[in-house]
Structures are given as structure tokens and as C-alpha cells.
Amino acid sequence: MAPSGSRSIKRSCQTVLYWIPVIFITLIVAWSYYAYVVQLCIESIDNIGQKIVYLLAYHVVFILFTWAYWQTIFTKPMNPLKEFHLSYSDKELLEREDRGESQQEILRRIAKDLPIYTRTMSGAIRFCDRCQLVKPDRCHHCSVCDKCILKMDHHCPWVNNCVGFSNYKFFMLFLAYSLLYCIFITATDLQYFIKFWTAEGRTHDRLLEYLNGLPDTQAKFHIMFLFFAASMFSVSLASLFVYHCWLVCKNRSTLEAVRAPAFRHGADKNGFSLGLSKNFRQVFGDEMRYWPFPVYSSLGDGCSFPTCLVNQDPEQPTSPGHNPTPNKTVVGESHQFPAKPLRESQSRLLNSAPSWTENGGAEDKERRGTSNPAMAIENET
């Protein structure tokens, strides 16, 4: 009982510690709301029209920012489906084998009917010992969450959550709206910040007013500190947002930018890149009306992804009567996994304008004119 109780206390302490960055950001945002709405707009701005415009614009940005932050924090990361987990008999068989090559033979047999194309750097099947599963493409094990996360980008302490397939769009919008929030505050607060420094009267007089606790001085203090905080956050958020925009354009995760995914032919940093438009739509979806809002609209299932590779994986089975295509993005032709029709938006992503293939364009056009064979997993979220 003692070890179990000790572990429980340790987990509780870790949970509290993990939430500290989120609480810190929440307090900063709550203070910024008070400083901007009450101290700047209500107390300091005399022009009624300007006050209304500032308050309306501020609340629009504030709502979108907090909505995206909430979604990023509380959207659970997606884990691999049960098809990727080892059965009880496979686990026993794997445990009995003490040679690495024999274990790889077992894993290759298990992965044969799964839409898996990436390998380890040594060419082996990617397997998670802790979760006891064959890792889907772009899936990684998070040491903080102690789970395998689909299309894991990174574990972010500021949201106390893994950023992955299920919430990457929310994370991008969180960065965008938090940057817009800080820039808006900086721009609208600037003239009043300047007035504070150029106000008539000596510094000694302002200090005396501050010590006396006059409301006017209190408002000026909030305006000054609000400008500094918003400016500093703008710089850091801008660099992070630009970096993740580059990742979206290249269809890479942070982990893949550090280490390129390995396929049977070797590492390929552009293996999942389909071109700017398709890369963007994988994260934000096909329907433009959903792009600005933190609602789920990403394409795919998180377990399989189209690639720009032109060589068919020889380990993947070919259906009877099926002519192999040079582009192995249409994973459903080789795998009945499971036999569910692809969503229309996903089907367009996989089969429209194959700009990501390097050759065989005429043959692909003729084949697309006669059939639409794409089958894949339906979105589980």
C-alpha cells in the first residue's frame, strides 16, 4: 500500500506543477483584461466613439483568443486505434523471442495490413514498448503524457497538453490570436503610454501622486505595464507563430523538423509534403468558413497520411485485380483498414490534382477519370 500511495501523491504533485504555467497565463490574461477595459478604455479614454470601437474590437479578439486557448488545453490528443495494438497472443509471442530479428519478423507480420510506411533510422518497424503497439506514421510516445500521440508535434507546458493531430489547428489559432491580441493592445495603448512619459509635471510630483494612491496614477501604472507586457509577448509569439506557419507549409511537425521521418528508401524531410495548398488544408480543412474558428475541421484520421513518395512499398499487399499506382498515398487500395468510405473532403485531398507526384502524370489523370479508389479510416474525433 505504501508504494502505491507514494506514487499517487507523486502523480498529484506533478499534476499541480503541470498546471502552474496555465494558471500563470490565465492570471496574466485576466489582469490584461482589467487593465485594458477598466483602466484604459473606461477610465482614461474620454472620446465615447473611440471607447466603443476599442471595446468592441478588443472583445472580438479576446473571445477568439480565449476560445482557441481553451480548445488547445482541453482537446484530448488522439491515440492510435486498437488495430495498432498488439493482441494478447502477439504480446506473448514477442516476449518469448529474445532475438531482435525474430521480433522484427513478428512486427512486420503485424504491420503488413496496416497503413504504415515510416521506419526507424535502421529500417525497423516502429514499435512502442510502453504502449505495446505498432506506431502509426508520424506517431510518437510522449514521456509526459505517457501515451503515444498521433502526429505529435510537441508537449507544450503552456497549455499542459500534447499538441498533435487532434488540436494542432487549435494551437495554430491560439498562436495567431494571442499575437493579434498583443499587437492590438500595443497599438491602441501606445498613444497613452507616450502621454504618460511626456505628461506635464516633474517625476517627483508623479511619485508623490503614486504614493498617495490617486486613481489617475494607478491607471497610468497599468497602461505603462500593459504596454511593456504586450510588446514583449508580441516578439516571442511572432517568432513562434512564423516558425509553425513554416511547418504547416512544409507539412512537418516540430519533431520531424528536428529529425526527418525515415522511409524504406531512407530519411526524407519532405516525405509528407503535398504542396502548399494541400499541406494547409490537411490542418485547416477544405471549408474556408471554418478556418478562423477553433472548431475541428482538419482532414484525415491521424493514423495514415498521404505522401509524396513515388515507389510502392513492397511490403504492402496489393488487392487482386488492382493495378499498382506510382503514388502510395492512396493507402486504402492496399489496405482494407477499416472498410469505411473516406469523407468527401479527405477524398479530394488524396485524389485531386496530384501535384505532389514526380512522374506518371498522364497515367494518373487517365486512372482518376475512370475510378476513385481512395478508402481510409473515418475521422474518429
Asked if residue 177 lies in contact with residue 64, where contact means CB atoms within 8 angstroms, the answer is: yes
Active-site hit among 41, 131, 156, 162? 156
Q: Which residue has the higher pLDDT, 348 or 111?
A: 111
pLDDT tens digits along 265-313: 889 999 999 999 999 999 999 999 999 999 999 999 999 999 886 444 4
Q: Which of 318, 306, 322 is nearest to 355 (CA)?
A: 306
Instruction: Pick the closest to residue 352 from 313, 306, 310 (CA basis).
Output: 306
Reduce the DSSP state of residue 267 to 3 states and report it: strand
Rg (CA), the chain: 26
Q: Report yes or no: 116 and 137 within 8 Å, Cβ to Cβ.
A: yes
Strand partners, 147: 142
Clarify whether 41 is annotated catalytic: no
Verdict on whether the full-model pTM lies above 0.85: no
What are the backbone angles phi and psi of residue 158, rounded to the nearest 5°?
-75, -15
Amino acid letter, residue 329: T
CB 192 within 8 A of CB 40: yes
Percent of the chain with pLDDT strictly greater than 90: 59
Strand 154-156 and strand 161-163: the pairing is antiparallel
- Terminal CA-to-CA distance of the chain, rounded, Å? 38
Taking only the tens place, the pLDDT of each residue in 322-346 is 333 333 333 333 333 443 333 444 4
